[in-house]
Amino acid sequence: MKNKETVLVTGGSGFIASYCMIALLNNGYQVKATLRSLKKADLVKQMLSEGGINNFDNLSFAEADLENESSWEKAVEGCQYVIHVASPTPYTNATTEDDFVIPAKNGVLFVLRAAKKAGVKRVVLTSAFGAVGMGTVKTKPYTEADWTVLNDTVAPYQRSKTISEKAAWDFIASEGAGMELAVVNPTGVLGPVLSNDFSHSIQSIRQMLNGEMKACPKIISAYVDVRDVADLHFKAMTLPQANGQRFIAAAGEGYSLIDIAKVLKKNLGEKAAKVPTAELPSWLIKLLSIFNPKLKAVAPYLGMVKRASSEKAINLLGWKPRSTDEAILATANSLIKLGIVK
């Protein structure tokens, strides 16, 4: 079945983007994926194959860069929808805040302007829970009504996500007449990896299985399976009631790192031999972080409790996420299968 409609998916080599492309191709859409360099096209096909796609007739590629506005007009030509996933991630070589914020915000505006000019019906923006629940302390779960408060506690990546999402809503209000926008705000993204390129939430599971994490810092956050994140993007693109809305993607309200470790220990037997069983006191990590740059990156999150509610996506769009346990185990099994952990 061949759908006449074409969807532009930006940042096509990324973890969430590849699963969005799998969902679109499985539903008969034409997909045009943007890459900073077309040299990555074969890698993307390899990742999609790992995700079960074996026919690439409905897939094409376009070269585009978040820092080059003119590249987007050509990329979005002939597209009815845009799923804008591309954004500078926490693992780029960005060093200053501007390295994150400027390309993220400009990239969103470049894509929206080009989409408007090309007559695109709806844009789905991949934002993040980082635009919802940072800079504040809440005992209740965060919802879509919450916005990150940009104070000194907010990391550059989360700041970039907040500023770029606000810029998108402002653009739609002031210049977007006739074009629709929906936003997805994923919590920590887990799920089966397709290559060595995966979300930063998966690093903690990799570190546990590899024995690099000797004990768990006290951090509680919500998680979600990447396949469900892609499904939510698909629903946000196709369902009329998604227009003008933001949706948190979370499988449950929250898990601590020691909860994740327990799931691995309980289900993976010998493969989880190196997974830690103890939780580290926060004061100790803070002390050690003076000497250890890796721990220094963790220190601001210690004791953090970030619970999130996905009731809106479940009730309004009929979204049904997998459980957090299932997402954790799918992640671990794929890391083992691809030889990323021994």
Tell whether 214 is covered by a domain: no
Find the CATH number of the domain harbouring 18.
3.40.50.720
**Phi, psi for 78 (deg, rounded to 5):** 80, 10
Q: Residue 98's pLDDT is what?
A: 80
Q: Residue 116's pLDDT is what?
A: 97
Per DSSP, 191 falls in state: S
Sheet of 255-256, strand order: 255-256, 220-221, 305-306
Tell whether 291 is covered by a domain: no
Tell whether 68 is covered by a domain: yes
Catalytic hit among 32, 116, 161, 306: 161
Q: Residue 283's pLDDT is what?
A: 82
Q: Residue 211's pLDDT is what?
A: 93
- In angstroms, how far is CA 195 from the centroid of its own chain? 16
Q: Residue 75's pLDDT is what?
A: 96
Q: How many domains does the chain have?
A: 1
Instruction: Please give the radius of gyration of the chain, using alpha carbons only, rounded to the nearest integer.
Output: 20
What is the pTM for the complete model shown? 0.94
Does 161 qualify as catalytic in the annotation? yes
Sequence-distant (6+) residues with CB within 8 A of 58 are 2, 3, 25, 28, 29, 30, 31
Query: Which among 219, 221, 220 is positioned nearest to 281, based on CA atoms?
Result: 219
Q: What is the mean pLDDT of each run of 10 residues along the chain (342 residues)?
A: 83 95 97 96 96 96 91 95 84 68 90 96 96 92 96 87 96 95 97 86 93 89 96 98 98 92 96 93 80 72 85 98 97 94 84
- In angstroms, how far is CA 69 from the centroid of its own chain? 23
**190 torsion bin: left (phi>0), alpha (psi -120 to 50), beta (else):** beta
**Structural domain boundaries, residue 76:** 6-191+223-251+309-314
CB 235 within 8 A of CB 265: no
Q: Residue 288's pLDDT is what?
A: 80
Tell whether 18 is covered by a domain: yes
Tell whether 289 is covered by a domain: no
Tell whether 47 is covered by a domain: yes
Cα–Cα distances (Å) from 3 to 25, 123, 236, 245, 279, in that order, read 9, 18, 18, 26, 51
Tell whether 150 is covered by a domain: yes
Tell whether 258 is covered by a domain: no
Query: Which among 34, 339, 37 is positioned nearest to 196, based on CA atoms?
Result: 339
One-letter amino acid at 178 equals G
CB 161 within 8 A of CB 129: no
